[in-house]
Structure 1
């Protein structure tokens, strides 16, 4: 288990409990049951206290945790008959974006998502979930296909942001993101989104022009990363904690603001401590969101989606 910075006291207690058990395994007559149980209880209480009221910056850290389930994990667990589709039919295939046809509860869907990778080699191959223009153009192609065949679309968001490299800019990064966002608003089939980790900048918005948007409890969704915001506003990336507070990037804040529609509860300690339970919760929420949209006409889906995004911010303006 990888511990975050604010979890270091917890790491010490759990480490001591494991040391006691390791000593007992080596010495047959040694009984450490009571001592280990006391440490376990202390650790459980501390974990509950740590996660009871996380600050926005700590939520950012949890959302970025390397052990959280990624898009590939959700696809392999929740979907059957997944058939990956590759390439943008123009330049290349972008491995930061996974997409393809699948079945959710035996119903056909098109699933698209950011994949960060799980180890050094896969993270480099996936570019840490930062898509290039060809990734967004692949997503546009898959959404077009789903629209043509009347198949609902599911998007799973987990990215620090779109790749900002020179090559990506030369190949039209901004235009690709804009067209992907536009395509979300144009398709006449149900489109549902879950932010499973980081929802960073236009790289996330490009997949989130949806009928229903859900966020995992400790995920984040913002126009810019706290570090990037701090660098621009204060010329100091170390002010990321203040930036995280100001950005209102938590699921709880965004639900109040009307930017997202629902929050999916995570296991105590975050999705990284209960991967199977977190994945199952996302699967249940996806099925529920799609069932609520079932039977809605193409015309109404497009019109309602448009109204939804035009209405965002109206509460704050009225206040």
Structure 2
């Protein structure tokens, strides 16, 4: 397991605990009390560290290499019922954007999300989770199919942004994202958005308009990444921690600003520390959100969704 810089005290205690237990197994020495003391200190240290995380540390957690990605959630939530669908019926199949039909419990959904890779080869294959225009057009095609058959849509957001390459701009990256935002505001079926990791810029907004927007505790959601914000304002990446604080990108900030509707708690140590518990939390959150939306008529869904986003940014002086 990999540890981040601020997690090094946890790493040291974990190694001490494992070493003490190993000594007990390899010899006749009773180390039960020692192991219990180290374990108690380990739990206290974890609670102390994760209770006081800075915005930048949450950004680091959201990028942890062991953190579950979109397909991990889909496979855990749907099992063998998931059927992946491909292509935008215009240019090609974007591997950074995945989607298809699946069941969570007894309810069928159209599931869509950005997928990152697990190693160098798959990261290149998935384009680091940065979708091209055809990815957003594929997502829209699947959402329109869901609308046709009356299926709710669930989207998983985890992207450092839409792909900024020249070829993406030539094929209409901005138009594709704008079109998705427009069409999602008036889609006549429930839309549940789950921010599971990085939620950056238009890359996130392209599949981020929903009736219920859920956000994992250590995910982030912002118009720009802390590094890029720092490079624009200070001409250096050295101020990324200050930028992360100023951007108000954490789940608690997003909830306070009413950008998201609810925060999904993560296990102590982050989503990667106990994947099965994280999957259970997400399943329960999606089912709860759908139960609140399923009885609304298409007209009510669209009206409430439009009102929700129209009210964002409104303030009294």
TM-score (norm 2): 0.96
Superposed CA RMSD in Å reads 1.3
Tell me how far 1:13 sits from its aligned partner.
Answer: 1.5
Unaligned runs of 5+ in 1: none
Q: Residues of 1 paired with 2:246 and 2:86: CA distance? A: 39
Tell me how far 1:91 sits from its aligned partner.
Answer: 1.2
Q: Residues of 2 paired with 1:24 and 1:122: CA distance? A: 41
1:242-287 CA deviation, whole Å, 9 max, x = no partner? 1001100011011111111001111111111111111110111101
Q: Do the aligned residues in 2 keep the contact of 1:69 with 1:279 (CA within 8 Å)?
A: no
Equivalent residue, structure 1, for 2:61: 62
- Secondary structure (helix, strand or coil) at the match of 1:164 reads coil
Tell whether 2:110 aligns with 1:91: no
Tell me how far 1:23 sits from its aligned partner.
Answer: 4.0
Q: Residues of 2 paired with 1:113 and 1:299: CA distance? A: 26
Q: Residues of 1 paired with 2:274 and 2:96: CA distance? A: 25
Q: Residues of 2 paired with 1:137 and 1:263: CA distance? A: 29
Tell whether 2:182 aligns with 1:190: no
- Secondary structure (helix, strand or coil) at the match of 2:308 reads helix
Q: Residues of 1 paired with 2:222 and 2:21: CA distance? A: 43
Equivalent residue, structure 2, for 1:222: 222
Tell me how far 1:24 sits from its aligned partner.
Answer: 4.1
Q: Residues of 2 paired with 1:16 and 1:163: CA distance? A: 44
Structure 1, 29-38 or 182-191: larger mean CA deviation: 29-38
Q: Residues of 1 paired with 2:135 and 2:30: CA distance? A: 56
Tell me how far 1:37 sits from its aligned partner.
Answer: 2.4
Tell me how far 1:8 sits from its aligned partner.
Answer: 1.1
- Secondary structure (helix, strand or coil) at the match of 2:3 reads coil
Q: Do the aligned residues in 2 keep the contact of 1:143 with 1:183 (CA within 8 Å)?
A: no
Equivalent residue, structure 2, for 1:40: 39
1:32-91 CA deviation, whole Å, 9 max, x = no partner? 333232222211111100011211111101111111111111111111511100011111
Unaligned runs of 5+ in 2: none
Equivalent residue, structure 2, for 1:160: 160
Q: Residues of 1 paired with 2:316 and 2:58: CA distance? A: 29
Aligned positions of 1:148-297 closer than 5 A? 148-297=148-297
Tell me how far 1:121 sits from its aligned partner.
Answer: 2.4
Tell me how far 1:307 sits from its aligned partner.
Answer: 0.7
Aligned positions of 1:307-318 closer than 5 A? 307-314=307-314, 317-318=315-316
- Secondary structure (helix, strand or coil) at the match of 1:42 reads helix
Q: Residues of 1 paired with 2:125 and 2:23: CA distance? A: 41
- Secondary structure (helix, strand or coil) at the match of 2:82 reads strand
TM-score (norm 1): 0.96
Q: Residues of 2 paired with 1:90 and 1:176: CA distance? A: 12
Tell me how far 1:222 sits from its aligned partner.
Answer: 0.4
Tell whether 2:91 aligns with 1:78: no
Number of residue pairs matched? 316
Equivalent residue, structure 2, for 1:50: 49
